[in-house]
Chain A
Amino acid sequence: MDKIKIGIPRGIHYYYFGNFWKYFFEKCNIELIYSPKTTQELVDRGSAIAPDEMCLSMKIYLGHLSYLEGKCDYVLIPRIDRFDKNNQTCTNFLAIYDLAHHYFQTPILNYNIDTHHDLLDGLLELRDLLGISKMELIKAYEYAKEKERQIKEQQEKEQYQKMSEDGKKVLVVSHAYNIHDDFIGGPLEKLLEDNHIIPLYSDYFQEEQTNALARCLSKDLYWKYSRDAIGAIPLCEKVDGIIFLSTFPCGLDSLVYEFVMRSMEKPYLYLVMDDLSSKTGLETRIESFVDLLEQS
């Protein structure tokens, strides 16, 4: 059998599982193809496909899928329903498989995570397709998990290092797929650096820790990635300000950030990125926020 090529769209899940996938498939000896970093062109491709009111992050994801169309044997699209009752996901995560299936022809490599199936269960179902034995798969899984843990630890260490540095520090609170996307969080990161602000990222902390800490802010919140994000706020007491980064029109953020902002004592900025936001608008808002931080 010819070796299969698996396409990884650089959006949504990539920012949570990217490192894991990289090492897992490397160990399985399977070649991966990544879609490029998000550009205006990919955003436009996504917006042309998606319904108007869909959130920018999903539009971008569809843009990445459209890039991969025909370039690989399978695209990897997991579906995540929930990890447990208190850690559910946005409904877009639920629909993502069927949406991709509707729009694109490339076969989908899909596993499903819900209350009864975790990541390993999901991957085990794919073992025939990947052409490896159960033992090999479990080995690769453990290897990749370990690698993922090391990377995460490194990221966390760097975060704490940054926190003790001199200078104004800002915590960027958002979903990982927004913070590290070159179209959404990219311009923000650059602007912060230009203004000599040290950015900390909510998703670089240990999610077990932030997830539990989210309870300090909201007792009923049941979306995993929102909890992981806002849980970083109590963890970073020392930062000077907080930036809530959202994409238009994210359903979860519209409620969660509003809720958190209402009890914020630090200076904060609520940024909503649109698929066509002008860069000047962002510049003005960041600069005035920096001025605010300098005063305090």
Chain B
Amino acid sequence: MKDCYLGIDIGSISTKAVVIDRQYHIISSCYIETKGNPIAAVQEAIQQIHMDGYRLRGIGTTGSARKLVGLLLNANVIKNEITAHAIGTLTFHPDVRTILEIGGQDSKVICIRNGLISDYAMNTLCAAGTGAFLSSQAKRLDVDVKAFGNVALTSKNPTNIAARCTVFAESDLVHKAQIGYPKEDIIAGLCKSVVLNYLNNVCKGKKLEPPIIFQGGVSKNKGVHRYFEEILKQPVFVDEHGHLMGALGVAILASREKEQKEYTLDLANLSFKTLGQECQDCSNRCELLRIYRNEELLDTLGSKCGKY
């Protein structure tokens, strides 16, 4: 039996899982919505993927819920999403110099030199211009978020939308809609403002060297993609597996790990519970999160003094 490795990227909006073999070929993958419940999402993801005929030798987790899920699955690699994305992308596109990534809550830029991360930046202000923002605006305009990009492509005169801050953007958008701008122009304007905002906020001071690759959930939006190319005045690649790069990267890291063991995935039969509480033992008043598997305490996260 051949070895395989599982990588899971649990983001705020979506959860991605991918199974690869030693040669980094994708055996199986899935993409589901997190819906605010990372544990349920992971359980569902594991049911959707298959690895028949392979031995699972490593698990890696990344994304904002990486610690929690890593603990549950007893993962051998828990990595932040920036490193995971870079590793994943570099494995499939070794010559890439710049990775643009816009996800659900975060957006980031990663600069690469000589196959190594040389610089990166993440959004510092609020969630304006990220995936969550786009889908909430799509709902407001009553357009399916998946069709959003195509609608944007039909516009010839994108409206100017102030997208620096979610609150301002919403009021501006509502206002523009009220005074009668065509919907496709507003949508295109929104896509364009996401790009401008991203370049002004996240990429300030960074040199964006070609080849440039665009990833994350928002990369599926053709409107945003188009404005990236228009404003940067050069081709920007979007990989069809772009949304999986984080999961891929962490699966690759799991395969590189020296210590390997055999895993079985019977998550479906287990019950997980998390319990939040405030520790009263000292003046730090840490917010503790206790994680139980089948009533057994696995770990306590969030303690600052190292008591747990």
Contact = CB atoms under 8 A, between A and B. Distances in A.
A278 B170 CA distance: 10
A274 B175 contact: no
Given A52-B124, A52-B125, A280-B175, A274 B200 contact: no
Contacts of A278: 162, 168, 171-172, 175
B204 A280 contact: no
A274 B200 CA distance: 15
B85 interface: no
B204 A274 contact: no
Given A274-B164, A276-B162, A281 B171 contact: yes
Interface string A263-287: 0000000000011111011000000
A26 B201 CA distance: 42
A296 B125 CA distance: 40
A276 B175 contact: no
B286 to A, nearest CB: 30
Interface string A41-78: 00000011001100000000000000000000000000
Interface string B32-61: 000000000000000000000000000000
Interface in B159-174: 162-165, 168, 171-172
A275 B164 contact: yes
A281 B172 CA distance: 9
Given A52-B124, A275-B164, A280 B171 contact: yes
Given A47-B200, A48-B200, A52-B201, A277 B168 contact: yes
A49 to B, nearest CB: 9
Contact of B168 (A47, A48, A52, A274): A274
Contacts of A47: 200
Interface in B123-182: 124-125, 162-165, 168, 171-172, 175
Contacts of A275: 164
A51 B171 contact: no
**Which of B125, B162, B163 has most chain A Cβ within 10 Å?**
B162
A171 B292 CA distance: 62
A275 B196 CA distance: 14
Contacts of A48: 200
Interface residues of A, number: 11
Interface string A5-22: 000000000000000000
Nearest to A50: B204
A280 B179 CA distance: 11
B204 A52 contact: yes
Contacts of B124: 52
Interface in A242-296: 274-278, 280-281
Nearest to A280: B175
Nearest to B123: A52
B107 to A, nearest CB: 13
A143 to B, nearest CB: 45
Contacts of A276: 162-164, 168, 172
A191 B229 CA distance: 40
B204 A51 contact: yes
Interface in B175-214: 175, 200-201, 204
Nearest to A52: B201
Contact of A277 (B162, B163, B201, B204): B162
Interface string A221-243: 00000000000000000000000
A274 B168 CA distance: 10
Contacts of A274: 164-165, 168
Contacts of B162: 276-278
Interface in B54-77: none
A276 B170 CA distance: 12
B170 to A, nearest CB: 10
Contacts of B171: 278, 280-281
Interface string A164-187: 000000000000000000000000
**Which of A48, A276, A277 has most chain B Cβ within 10 Å?**
A276
Interface string B246-271: 00000000000000000000000000
A117 to B, nearest CB: 34
A52 B171 CA distance: 21
B123 to A, nearest CB: 10
**Which of A48, A51, A277, A278 has most chain B Cβ within 10 Å?**
A278
19 contacts: A48-B200, A51-B204, A52-B201, A52-B204, A274-B164, A274-B165, A274-B168, A275-B164, A276-B162, A276-B163, A276-B164, A276-B168, A276-B172, A277-B162, A277-B168, A278-B162, A278-B175, A280-B175, A281-B171
Interface of A: 47-48, 51-52, 274-278, 280-281
Which 8 A-B pairs give the minimum distances between C-beta atoms?
A276-B162, A278-B172, A280-B175, A276-B164, A52-B201, A278-B175, A278-B171, A48-B200
Interface of B: 124-125, 162-165, 168, 171-172, 175, 200-201, 204
